[in-house]
Chains A and B, each alone.
Chain A
Amino acid sequence: MPVSALVLTLSPDPAEVLCRLSSRSNLHLGELIGDRLPITLESPDVRSAAREIEALAEESGVSHVDLIGAYYEEDL
């Protein structure tokens, strides 16, 4: 399963979006730093990773997504 390292920039009052994100089993949330939230995303295959990242960008309460790394050895 590919692993993606991401930083989400959250809108003001992030409590609700943090609650939603923390309930997802494929996301591991780091500590919120200002309005920036480091996370990792596990995807079932390389095909679905981009769709999931795109969906995160569209998520209410997420204003921006930065990508830091992709690890996909097992999927080649």
Chain B
Amino acid sequence: MDRRDFLMASALAAATAAAKGVAAPEPPSIEGVRWAKAPCRFCGTGCHVQVGTKGGKVVAIAGDPKAEVNKGLLCVKGYHVGLALYGKDRLTTPLLRKNGKLTPISWDEAIQKVVERIQLDPKGFAIYGSGQWTIPEGYAANKLVKAALRNNQIDPNARLCMASAVTGFLATYGVDEPAGCYDDLDRCDVLVLWGNNPAEMHPVLFSRVIDRRSRGEKVTIIDIGTRRTRSTGHADHYLEMKPHGDVAIANGILHLLVQRGTYDKEFVERHTAFRAPANPPTLEGAPISFDEFKRRIAEYTPEKVSRLSGISEQDLRLLADLFGNKKLRITSLWCMGMNQHTLGTAINCLVHGVHLFSGHFGRPGDAPTSLTGQPSACGTAREVGTLCHALPGGGVVTNPEHRQHAEAIWNLAAGSVNPKPGYHTVELWKRFSKPKSQGGDIHTIWSMVTNPGQSLPNRNALFDPSRKDPSKFLIVSDVYPTETVRAADLVLPSALWVEKNGMFGNSERRTQQWFKMVPPPGQARDDCWQLLAVARALHEAGFAGTRDKDGQYLFRIVKDGKEVPVWDWRHYYDVNVDEQLFEEYRKFSRAKHKDLAPYQEYVKARGLRWPVVQQANGTWRETRFRFAEFDDPYVAKGKGFDFYHSTSKDGRAQIWFHPYAPPPEVPDAEYPLWLCTGRVLEHWHTGSLTRRIPQLHGAMPAAYVEVHPEDAQRLGVSQGERVVVESRRGKLVVPVWINGRGAPPVGTLFIPFFDETMLVNRVTLEAHDPFSKQPDYKKCAARLRKATAQELTG
């Protein structure tokens, strides 16, 4: 058998084991190839892959059969994740804009330039990151801003992605992140997709449900959406709603459960309380009685809900029938459809409320579960707290006890942590876009592991103006020349994925770890090193904030009793910096019962779901289902359920009433169409990685606008014709796709945002939810017209 035959036989053996649903053999033993585990670099599902390396390169990827998340399977992106490292245009040297041109400089010069910008005015220096930061990277950035600079000017692009899920969890349970986990997908009888397309965005999770069906199990899929997607193709019922219709639908279900008396009376009485918006509005709202709740929900009759939402009364009754049937197990999934919504907090609370009110909560298969788009949106943005108002472990800067806790762990003098939140993402970039004389008090943003030039809404207002103001300075750490890099003043080349150590936290509270496997190209270096190098340079320049209350350096890394100079790249890997930062960070995790295990436990596992608690025999046990006695170690025996961070301080979860309100911008005579934006299977977010993977780029080479055939006919545009889509904020030229992959209804357009050559975020609006501050990318008013000759060539 030659080498190739051996490889083919090994690959077929792996596929056969997966088809049998049994643990596959180890990855194929190929001469010279070393295999090691890592979570996939892309979405928030958190699949584990086996990474095959040889000669300093990733040469093979296999699904990890030992991983509970994906059980050896991968989606088309995960399968090609190794190739994300090998685009031809990797950034390999620091670059500084001189006379308008990005020019190579040394790392020492680059680090000093960052320090100069901080020293110019520390209050006006901000870090903008993402859920692609590893946990230690995010922790280092957060500590640099909140313990050293003390201005709280840090926010992640997760603000654009899942902030409404956070506020929904906080308002309902008093603490963030889902109670359930992916195991629910293996047990549910009904799967409700609320504006969600997991067949494309989280395909491995969706395949768990499809696999159950192929084994003969009955799983009813309800797809509630504004456009038909690949998920619709698998649905038993497709309920097409108007934009914002989900708020009316959730209220309508609650109305029918009350009217029919089919809500779970015992669960509601023992474990829930009722809330409604307060005046002035607050995230915690105001308590109301059950009678008051019933009075308010009474107006959401099927007739009214049908009128507001566009779904039929019959379909609303179908949903109420399902939720009113306690014999069924129902899981709800959502992602951007409910989160990128100016009523994002409200609809998140309402869907939790539907589950709590109907008692479809706390049993395997009965769960309201939000999904995330980034690999560590939960682990880094939410748990490490890289949001402008947050502290690690679920704390907030406005809470004196949380600040004291942080000051104790960081060994800072009392009062060191600033109680004033920094600016949320939209406000941060607005302040960066304005001259200082007009309130633009942010002079420098250091963007890491994200691409705001493509992903911010209303780019013309939030991104472009600062690029014409010489007093504003944009630093970008990245791996490829993105839209943001091209506009930067200083570019720092970064290591990517298995070119560095890392940890991620996925959508189901699972913390994952991997080791560096291959070197980064050229002078590219770890983001965490970049942060520590800047911190040290600041320290050496005498910046007071880098010292703790005993005068010690805040980021001291010690091995065998001696400080390791990790700010010097030659010594960065003399010690496991990730482990040291993680061990410090995990001290924060117990305050909100998000307990993390020691770093070495994650080395052994394919991730562990928090809270991870040590048992009497010394082993560490993860938690699949929170708040439920049968699995959560923090629920006392006999209680059944305990929402131990309840905002009503009585162990109860909150069932909210939130009224329907129309979207902030609706089609009119001038802009008569709805525009929705989103993602596609082949590309991950702004496409900066996946568009450099030939297979994925070849499969989906360019953006498009999905148009209903009737609209196309009425507007006189044809398949493939390049047209103008424009709003009150901007426009783009994009080819028409009629009867494409997705099918929008008459009057609606859809454009994916992965393509940097067709920037749909010049068109979107920055209106955002009042609590989460998350913008609505899913609905704005637009028009479509034929392009002029100049627009086609411009």
Q: A residues near B, CB below 8 A?
A: 3-7, 9, 28, 30-31, 33-40, 42, 45-51, 53-54, 63-64, 66-73, 76
Query: Are B11 and A5 interface neighbours, CB within 8 A?
Result: yes
Query: Are A72 and B60 interface neighbours, CB within 8 A?
Result: yes
Query: Are A68 and B74 interface neighbours, CB within 8 A?
Result: yes
A62–B444 Cα distance when bound, in Å, is 53
Query: Are A69 and B215 interface neighbours, CB within 8 A?
Result: no
Q: What A residues does B74 contact at CB under 8 A?
A: 66-69
Q: Determine how close the nearest CB of chain A comes to the CB of B595; give it in whole angstroms.
A: 34
* Contact status of A67 and B79, CB under 8 A, knowing A5-B11, A28-B12, A36-B214: yes
Q: What B residues does A5 contact at CB under 8 A?
A: 11-12, 14-15, 18, 62
Query: Are B698 and A31 interface neighbours, CB within 8 A?
Result: no
* Contact status of A53 and B76, CB under 8 A, knowing A46-B694, A64-B207, A69-B61: yes
Of B51-59, B167-175, B714-722, B746-754, the one with at least 4 CB within 8 A of chain A: B51-59
Q: Determine how close the nearest CB of chain B comes to the CB of A30; give it in whole angstroms.
A: 5
| Interface status of B123 (Cβ within 8 A of chain A) | no
Q: List 7 A-B contacts (CB under 8 A).
A: A42-B8, A50-B682, A51-B698, A67-B74, A69-B14, A70-B80, A73-B54
Query: Are B80 and A66 interface neighbours, CB within 8 A?
Result: no
Within 8 A of A (CB), among B3-28: 7-8, 11-12, 14-16, 18-20, 24, 27-28
Q: Determine how close the nearest CB of chain B comes to the CB of A5; give it in whole angstroms.
A: 4
Which residue on chain B has the smallest CB distance to residue A57?
B76
A69–B52 Cα distance when bound, in Å, is 11
Q: Which of A45, A68, A73 contacts B73 (CB 8 A)?
A: A68
A53–B63 Cα distance when bound, in Å, is 16
Query: Are B698 and A50 interface neighbours, CB within 8 A?
Result: yes
A15–B59 Cα distance when bound, in Å, is 36
Query: Are A68 and B63 interface neighbours, CB within 8 A?
Result: yes
Contacts A46-B83, A64-B207, A69-B60 supplied; 13 other A-B pairs, CB < 8 Å? A4-B11, A5-B11, A38-B16, A38-B19, A39-B12, A42-B8, A50-B76, A50-B682, A50-B696, A68-B15, A69-B11, A70-B61, A76-B59
| Interface status of B591 (Cβ within 8 A of chain A) | no
* 8 A-B pairs with least C-beta separation: A50-B695, A38-B15, A73-B59, A69-B62, A5-B11, A36-B19, A38-B16, A5-B15
Which residue on chain B has the smallest CB distance to residue A43?
B695
| Interface status of B86 (Cβ within 8 A of chain A) | yes
Q: Which of B27, B52, B75, B698 contacts A67 (CB 8 A)?
A: B75
* Contact status of A37 and B11, CB under 8 A, knowing A66-B207, A69-B63: no
| Interface status of B699 (Cβ within 8 A of chain A) | yes
A34–B20 Cα distance when bound, in Å, is 9
Q: What B residues does A6 contact at CB under 8 A?
A: 15
Query: Are B11 and A71 interface neighbours, CB within 8 A?
Result: yes
Q: Which of A42, A47, A66 contacts B695 (CB 8 A)?
A: A47
Query: Are A40 and B214 interface neighbours, CB within 8 A?
Result: no
| Interface status of B319 (Cβ within 8 A of chain A) | no
Q: What A residues does B8 contact at CB under 8 A?
A: 3, 28, 40, 42
Which residue on chain A has the smallest CB distance to residue B199?
A64
Q: What B residues does A34 contact at CB under 8 A?
A: 214-215
Query: Are A30 and B16 interface neighbours, CB within 8 A?
Result: yes
Q: Which of A4, A64, A66, A76 has the most CB of B within 10 A?
A: A66
Q: Determine how close the nearest CB of chain B comes to the CB of A49; give it in whole angstroms.
A: 5
Q: Determine how close the nearest CB of chain B comes to the CB of A32; give it in whole angstroms.
A: 8
Query: Are B699 and A3 interface neighbours, CB within 8 A?
Result: no
Write the B430-467 contact mask toward A (1 if CB under 8 angstroms, else 0). 00000000000000000000000000000000000000
Q: Determine how close the nearest CB of chain B comes to the CB of A41; give it in whole angstroms.
A: 9
A50–B80 Cα distance when bound, in Å, is 9
Query: Are A31 and B16 interface neighbours, CB within 8 A?
Result: yes
Query: Are A37 and B210 interface neighbours, CB within 8 A?
Result: no
Q: Determine how close the nearest CB of chain A comes to the CB of B681; give it in whole angstroms.
A: 9
* Contact status of A7 and B18, CB under 8 A, knowing A64-B207, A64-B210, A69-B79: yes
Query: Are A70 and B60 interface neighbours, CB within 8 A?
Result: yes
Query: Are A68 and B699 interface neighbours, CB within 8 A?
Result: no
Q: Which of B12, B30, B57, B210 contacts A40 (CB 8 A)?
A: B12
Query: Are B15 and A40 interface neighbours, CB within 8 A?
Result: yes
Query: Are B59 and A67 interface neighbours, CB within 8 A?
Result: no
Q: What A residues does B20 contact at CB under 8 A?
A: 33
Q: What B residues does A69 contact at CB under 8 A?
A: 11, 14-15, 27, 50, 60-63, 74, 79
Query: Are B11 and A35 interface neighbours, CB within 8 A?
Result: no
A66–B59 Cα distance when bound, in Å, is 20
* Contact status of A66 and B76, CB under 8 A, knowing A36-B19, A71-B59, A73-B60: no
* Contact status of A72 and B698, CB under 8 A, knowing A3-B8, A39-B12, A64-B207: no
A34–B216 Cα distance when bound, in Å, is 11
* Contact status of A51 and B14, CB under 8 A, knowing A3-B7, A69-B63: no
* Contact status of A72 and B15, CB under 8 A, knowing A49-B695, A51-B698, A67-B73: no
A76–B82 Cα distance when bound, in Å, is 11
Query: Are B682 and A35 interface neighbours, CB within 8 A?
Result: no
Q: Which of B80, B82, B215 has the most CB of A within 10 A?
A: B80
Q: Which of B14, B18, B59 has the most CB of A within 10 A?
A: B18
Write the B61-86 contact mask toward A (1 if CB under 8 angstroms, else 0). 11100000000111110111011001
A54–B75 Cα distance when bound, in Å, is 12
Within 8 A of A (CB), among B671-710: 682, 694-696, 698-699
A42–B9 Cα distance when bound, in Å, is 12
| Interface status of B531 (Cβ within 8 A of chain A) | no
A34–B636 Cα distance when bound, in Å, is 44
Q: What B residues does A35 contact at CB under 8 A?
A: 214
Q: Determine how close the nearest CB of chain B comes to the CB of A50; give it in whole angstroms.
A: 3
A4–B79 Cα distance when bound, in Å, is 9
Query: Are A76 and B207 interface neighbours, CB within 8 A?
Result: no
Q: What B residues does A40 contact at CB under 8 A?
A: 8, 11-12, 15
A10–B702 Cα distance when bound, in Å, is 31
Query: Are A30 and B695 interface neighbours, CB within 8 A?
Result: no
Query: Are B210 and A9 interface neighbours, CB within 8 A?
Result: yes
Query: Are B19 and A37 interface neighbours, CB within 8 A?
Result: yes
Q: Determine how close the nearest CB of chain A comes to the CB of B58; give it in whole angstroms.
A: 8
Q: What A residues does B215 contact at CB under 8 A?
A: 34
Q: Determine how close the nearest CB of chain B comes to the CB of A57; give it in whole angstroms.
A: 9
Q: What A residues does B16 contact at CB under 8 A?
A: 30-31, 33, 38
Q: What B residues does A3 contact at CB under 8 A?
A: 7-8, 11
A49–B61 Cα distance when bound, in Å, is 14
A50–B701 Cα distance when bound, in Å, is 12
Q: What A residues does B699 contact at CB under 8 A?
A: 50-51, 54
A76–B14 Cα distance when bound, in Å, is 23
Q: Determine how close the nearest CB of chain B comes to the CB of A72; give it in whole angstroms.
A: 7
A28–B7 Cα distance when bound, in Å, is 12
Q: Determine how close the nearest CB of chain A comes to the CB of B701; give it in whole angstroms.
A: 11
| Interface status of B33 (Cβ within 8 A of chain A) | yes
A36–B699 Cα distance when bound, in Å, is 25
Q: What B residues does A37 contact at CB under 8 A?
A: 19
A9–B732 Cα distance when bound, in Å, is 40
Q: Determine how close the nearest CB of chain B comes to the CB of A36; give it in whole angstroms.
A: 4
Query: Are B72 and A68 interface neighbours, CB within 8 A?
Result: yes
Query: Are B59 and A72 interface neighbours, CB within 8 A?
Result: yes
Q: Determine how close the nearest CB of chain A comes to the CB of B3; give it in whole angstroms.
A: 10
Q: What B residues does A54 contact at CB under 8 A?
A: 76, 699
Query: Are B62 and A46 interface neighbours, CB within 8 A?
Result: no
